Amino acid sequence: QKEVEQNSGPLSVPEGAIASLNCTYSDRVSQSFFWYRQYSGKSPELIMSIYSNGDKEDGRFTAQLNKASQYVSLLIRDSQPSDSATYLCAEISGTYKYIFGTGTRLKVLA
């Protein structure tokens, strides 16, 4: 059974700090990974995708992928209270199906 695992949290960080969210996956052949943000009661929205080892930056967000260790992470710099949400990590299984982790709840304290 292919799995994506995340710590459910909550992860609490002070405003302005760096939030670090982590995810591990079991399928060694997985190639594509995604981070989604989900506010309470809302649908997930795509933040970033990453396909290659290393870092990918987009504004305050940096995704990191390490295929040898089978982990993906998301860094949020200068965290704001509006970043408080659940962050879902996902991988593609086969060519069409996402496998999601259970999500990490982030709280940014003002």
Asked whether position 88 contacts other proteins by CB under 8 A, the answer is yes
Asked whether position 29 contacts other proteins by CB under 8 A, the answer is no
Asked whether position 96 contacts other proteins by CB under 8 A, the answer is yes
Q: Phi and psi at residue 35, in whole multiples of 5°?
A: -115, 130
- Out of 8, 53, 66, 80, the only residue in the binding site for other proteins (CB under 8 A) is 8
Q: Phi and psi at residue 96, in whole multiples of 5°?
A: -145, -10
Asked whether position 77 contacts other proteins by CB under 8 A, the answer is no
Nearer to other proteins, 84 or 101 (CB): 101
- Side-chain half-sphere exposure of 75, counting CA atoms within 13 A: 15
Q: Which DSSP state fits 78?
A: S
